[in-house]
Amino acid sequence: MGTLSGKNIVKKYGKDTVLKNVNIDIETGKIYGLIGRNGAGKTTLLSILTAQNPATEGTVTLDGQPVWENEEALSHICYSREIPQVTMFGPNSMKVKDYLKTAKVFYKYWDEAYAKELVALFNLNPKKRVSKLSKGMLSSLTIIIALASKADITILDEPVAGLDVVAREQFYKLVIDEYAQTGRTFIISTHIIEEAASLFEKVIIIDDGQIVLQENTEELLSRAYRVSGEDTLVDKATDGFKVYHPESIGRNKVVTVLADEPVADFGDDVQVEPVALQNLFYAMCVDDRKGA
């Protein structure tokens, strides 16, 4: 299985440009993390990559073949997103089992036995209507469909929203298990970054409709530093590097640095610490003018 590629993707809703010339390559056999602020364009990008939404401009290909309306390509992709509990015409009266039955029909590689196992594991009542499910059960259903689809490229959009910490840990274990067994590609978009950071072989950060970076997580973090100390000394030590989110308290200054290559030494005048993924993301995507 080759690469899922998006080239020069632009998406406009009327005058609003939600995605601005996005280029993205998803190599198979890896677990990806997709992180970005609300409104950054994560869901739009994922919908376009999976042909659920037409792009205004640009192409999406899997293995060189366009994905749009392509039966072969679509059979290898699963995009499981949050199921609405209210539709245009009232509460969503579909039952859990109807969803699962529909999934069975349309996902070519659906694993019914695995689905049943997961339903039992999550304690989901198949006869319940979607509108009556709790937030946690709703997330569980999305996860079950994603995992049981056995699709080569499985995308989960905020799968742990609404899950308590115990359920979240269970989810991570399931993904690791499944990945260890099958080597399926997973793309997980999440706001709860630090918990999942060690799961991601590669991380994609999207901000304001553009891809800020798409890299190997460990490699990325090996070039990220939190440099602190006396303000003039910090400025001197970090001169020439890309500096994010400078903060000061008294004469003490802290900055986050993302270098092009690992830095051996910033000098003895400053303190250097590694940066966790969540903090790096924060530093890069926080709008310092607004502080939010």
**218 lines the binding site for other proteins (CB under 8 A):** yes
Give helix then strand counts, H and E, for the chain: 10, 16
- In the bound state with other proteins, the residue whose beta carbon lies nearer, of 217 and 290, is 217
What would you measure as the largest C-alpha separation in the chain, in angstroms?
66
Q: Least Å distance between CB 289 and other proteins?
A: 28
**103 lines the binding site for other proteins (CB under 8 A):** yes
| One-letter amino acid of 70 | N
- Ranges of beta strands (E only) in the chain are 4-13, 16-26, 31-36, 57-62, 65-66, 77-80, 86-87, 90-91, 153-157, 185-189, 202-207, 210-216, 224-230, 242-249, 252-258, 271-274
Listed ranges 89-97, 119-127, 132-140, 235-243: which one lies at the site for other proteins (CB under 8 A): 89-97
Distance, CA of 137 to CA of 221 (rounded, Å): 34
Q: Least Å distance between CB 204 and other proteins?
A: 15
Q: Least Å distance between CB 87 and other proteins?
A: 5
Residues numbered 155-214 forming contacts with other proteins, rule: CB under 8 A: 169, 172-173, 176-177, 179-180, 198-201
**111 lines the binding site for other proteins (CB under 8 A):** no
**How do 57-62 and 4-13 pair as beta strands?**
antiparallel
Q: Which residue has the tokens 């049981």?
A: 148
**106 lines the binding site for other proteins (CB under 8 A):** yes
| Residues 279, 283, 288, 292, Cα dihedral to 10° | -40
* Alpha-carbon dihedral sign for residues 116, 137, 178, 51: positive
Q: Least Å distance between CB 172 and other proteins?
A: 5
Q: Least Å distance between CB 155 and other proteins?
A: 11
The residues of the shown chain that bind other proteins, judged by CB under 8 A, are 30-31, 47, 52-54, 69-71, 74-75, 77-79, 81, 84, 87-89, 92, 94, 99, 102-103, 105-108, 169, 172-173, 176-177, 179-180, 198-201, 218, 221-222, 273-276
